[in-house]
Amino acid sequence: MTEMVHGVAPLASGDPVLPRWWRTVDKWTMSCILMLFAIGLLLGLAASPPLASRNGLDPFYYVSRQAFFGGVALAIMLIVSMMSPVLVRRLAVLGFLASFAALAMLPVLGTDFGKGAVRWYSLGFASFQPSEFLKPGFVVVAAWLMAASQEVGGPPGKTWSFGLTVILVALLALQPDFGQAALVLFSWGVMYFVAGAPMLLLMILAGVVVFVGTVAYENSEHFARRIDGFLSPDVDPTTQLGYATNAIREGGFFGVGVGEGQVKWSLPDAHTDFIIAVAAEEYGLICVAVIIALYAMIVVRSLLRLMRERDPFIRLAGTGLACAFGVQAMINMGVAVRLLPAKGMTLPFVSYGGSSVIAGGIAVGMLLAFTRTRPQGEIGDILGRRGR
């Protein structure tokens, strides 16, 4: 407990991997992830039985699958968090290339599962969503390019990363998956800002995003329908947003009681995109506040630790991963309370979904690897060495 509050003990040379990892990893972030996963299983016990019943499956079919995928995700998270930043970068590049190829082949080999957007590969026993695995790899690759551009004689990494971002956003928008496209663009924008982008350029890019959004609204029925539904002053009580809004209102501060909620019987996506509505109805605002606090602690602690980092690549990649993680959670909850248009985005480590939870384990494992305590030296010492 002392280490969690006051920092880590000094490293001894020649330490075995596990003791060295335990001293340097952010235990508060790991604890928050485990708590989110436990909350997800608890909510799954309430949200998934109605869906299992409709599909003629065992009542706890989806909960057991989530427990299995979650166990795999946590194991991957721990393994990745023990890696060096260089090894993480190398594996991220390979993972990004594989995910990019899978994303490009979706129009030919993918399926929409009747949801109107071709985002998945059907494997028979499970489904695979390439965009979930693409995000952490993209963040690391973009951070690597931006960091390389800061070196003397380095490549135009910022320009290359922007071109890569445009390609990915276009591929995601064609599915259509505007939520993931916005998340990729946001991650790049945050890293570009941290890398020293001028405010004027960021404002110009924001204007371009607004223009592209206007064009998409005028030419995409899928996009326009979601925006119109968000802007409408009246909420159709028979839609998913209507059911979620009513559930949150009924839950109040303390909820209607464990197992007493009704929204799970009406919402087809109660165990995925709208699981926060189940939490709000059965456990009330208190449970939702705890979930928000856990996400906030993960993001804030990660950013505070990255502020001490001297390596530009680690600082940029860690910032992109932390902000993408937090914004995805914010988008999911914002949709449920009608602060944002419907996006079809899961709540990390809480919503049901094999691709989502395993990709989340990879992303958080990378974040833990980048935020591990490393000997940095004082900034004055570093500047002194450069001046010699």
pLDDT tens for residues 154-187?
888 899 999 999 999 989 888 878 888 889 999 9
Query: At a CB cut-off of 8 Å and minimum separation 6, what does 225 contact?
Result: none
pLDDT for res 207: 85
User: Is 152 part of any domain?
Assistant: yes
User: Is 383 part of any domain?
Assistant: no
Q: Count of domains in the chain?
A: 1
3-state secondary structure 238-287: CCHHHHHHHHHHHHCCCCCCCCCCCHHHCCCCCCCCCHHHHHHHHHHHHH
Q: Which of 206, 103, 197, 88 is nearest to 141 (CA)?
A: 88
| pLDDT classification of 3: cutoffs 50, 70, 90 | very low
User: Is 75 part of any domain?
Assistant: yes
8 Å CB contact between 92 and 140: yes
pLDDT for res 238: 63
Q: Which residue has the higher pLDDT, 376 or 333?
A: 333
CA distance 219 to 226: 13
CA distance 180 to 345: 8
State the average pLDDT over residues 270-277: 83
pLDDT for res 14: 57
**Token pair 């949150």 in the structure block, residue:** 248
State the average pLDDT over residues 309-314: 92
Question: Percentage of the chain surpassing pLDDT 70?
Answer: 89
**Token pair 């990709």 in the structure block, residue:** 359
User: Is 187 part of any domain?
Assistant: yes
8 Å CB contact between 227 and 204: no
Neighbour count for residue 181 (Cβ, 10 Å)? 22
pLDDT for res 378: 45
pLDDT for res 273: 82
CA distance 243 to 366: 36
User: Is 378 part of any domain?
Assistant: no
pLDDT for res 267: 74
pLDDT for res 353: 84
CA distance 63 to 55: 14
Whole-model pTM: value is: 0.87
User: Is 315 part of any domain?
Assistant: yes
Neighbour count for residue 160 (Cβ, 10 Å)? 16
pLDDT for res 234: 64
Q: Enter the tokens of residue 186.
A: 């946001």
pLDDT for res 46: 83
CA distance 318 to 368: 9
Alpha-carbon dihedral angle through residues 302, 308, 312, 313, given to the nearest 10 degrees: -40
Q: Enter the tokens of residue 298.
A: 């993960």
pLDDT for res 9: 46
Out of 171-185, 245-259, 322-336, 353-367, which region has the weakest mean confidence (pLDDT)? 245-259
Query: At a CB cut-off of 8 Å and minimum separation 6, what does 92 contact?
Result: 136, 137, 140, 141, 366
Question: What residue type is assigned to position 92 of the chain?
Answer: A
User: Is 7 part of any domain?
Assistant: no
CA distance 68 to 79: 17
pLDDT for res 327: 94
For the chain, count helices (H), then strands (E).
Answer: 16, 2
Q: Averaging pLDDT over each range in 108-117, 194-203, 227-236, 349-358, which range is the top one?
A: 349-358
User: Is 388 part of any domain?
Assistant: no
Domain boundaries, position 85: 15-371
CA distance 130 to 193: 27
CA distance 37 to 43: 10
Q: Is pLDDT at 386 greater than 60 in this prediction?
A: no
pLDDT for res 230: 67
Q: Is pLDDT at 342 greater than 70 in this prediction?
A: yes
